[in-house]
Structure 1
Amino acid sequence: MLLKLDLNDPRPLHEQVADAIRQAIVQGDVAPGDRLPPARDLADALGVNANTVLRSLRDLRDEGLLEFRRGRGVSVLSRPDPREALRAMVRDLLHEAVRYGYRPHDVIELIKEIS
C-alpha cells in the first residue's frame, strides 16, 4: 500500500493520513478483509510519528472502515460510500465558507466559475 502526504496541506497530519488510507480503500488498493501494515511501518513510510498514524486508524475505526483485533492487527471492514464522503467534504466546505462570510449560493457560483 503506497500512501503519500502533501507537505503543503495545512490540515493536521492525522487527517491527511486518514484521508490517504481512506483513498487507498476507495481505490481498491486494500479491500475489505485485508490487513493493514503495522502502524509503526506506516509511520516510517510516511515520515510521521506512530501516534499520528494510530490516531488516524482510530478515526477510521470510528467511521466503521477499520476493525482492530488483538493479535491480528487492523483490518479493512468496508469501503466508504464515495457519495457520502463527498457529502461530508461539501458540508465542511460550506461550514468554512460561512466562517468567511459566504452563503451556500456564493459557493455554488464559485464552483460554476471554476468548472
Structure 2
Amino acid sequence: MARTQALMIQIATGDPRPITKQIVDAVRMKIATGDLAPGAQLPSVRGLAQQLTINPNTVAKAYAELTTEGWLESRQGLGLFVAPPRQRLSDAERERRLDEAIQRFLHDVIALDYPPDEVQARLHREFRLLVPRKTA
C-alpha cells in the first residue's frame, strides 16, 4: 500500500490567482517535474486544508479539477493518487494553450525592457533546472 506523499506547497495571500488555482497549479507542476510520481498518494482533503490553514471545500474543489483533468485518480476507500502519465489534451489544444501562454508571457516581459537574448537565456536556464527532476 502506498504511503501518503507530503504535499509541500505554499499559498501566497498576495497572489492574484484564487487559492484553488494556486493549489491546482502547484500540484500540476509537482507532477510534471516528477516531484510527485505516478501512484503517489496525496494528503486527504482535510489534511491538506489543515496544513494550508484553508477551508476544506477549497482543497476539494482543487482536487476535483485535477481529477477531472486526469492528473489525479480516486481509489474508492483509499484516497487520491497521482494518475499514470498520459496525454491529457489533444495536439490542437496543447498547441492552442502553448500559444496562449507564450502571448501572456511576452506581454508580461516586454514591458521589463530586457534584451531578447537575455530573456531566452533565463528561460532556457529555468527549463534546465526543471527538466532534470522529470527525467531522473
RMSD (CA atoms)? 3.4
- Offset of residue 67 of structure 1: 0.5
SS in 2 for 1:68: strand
CA distance in 1: counterparts of 2:94 and 2:51, whole angstroms:
25
**Matched AA of 1:107:** H
Match of 2:67 among 36, 61, 64: 61
Match of 1:30 among 33, 36, 47: 36
1:38-72 deviations in Å (ceiling 9; x for gaps): 11111111121111001000111111110112101
1:77-109 deviations in Å (ceiling 9; x for gaps): 03587xx88963752675x7xxxxxxxxx8398
| Aligned residue runs from structure 1 range 1-115, under 5 A | 1-79=7-85, 88=97, 91=100, 94=103, 107=107, 110=110, 113-114=113-114, 115=119
* Structure-2 change in CA distance of 1:25 and 1:86 (3 Å): farther
Structure 2 unaligned spans of 5+: 1-6, 88-92, 120-136
CA distance in 2: counterparts of 1:109 and 1:21, whole angstroms:
25
* Structure-2 change in CA distance of 1:29 and 1:109 (3 Å): closer
On the 8 A contact 1:4/1:46 being kept in 2, the answer is yes
On the 8 A contact 1:67/1:77 being kept in 2, the answer is yes
Q: How many residues align?
A: 104
On the 8 A contact 1:64/1:77 being kept in 2, the answer is yes
Identity %: 34
CA distance in 2: counterparts of 1:30 and 1:109, whole angstroms:
30
Normalised to the residue count of structure 1, the TM-score between the two structures is 0.71
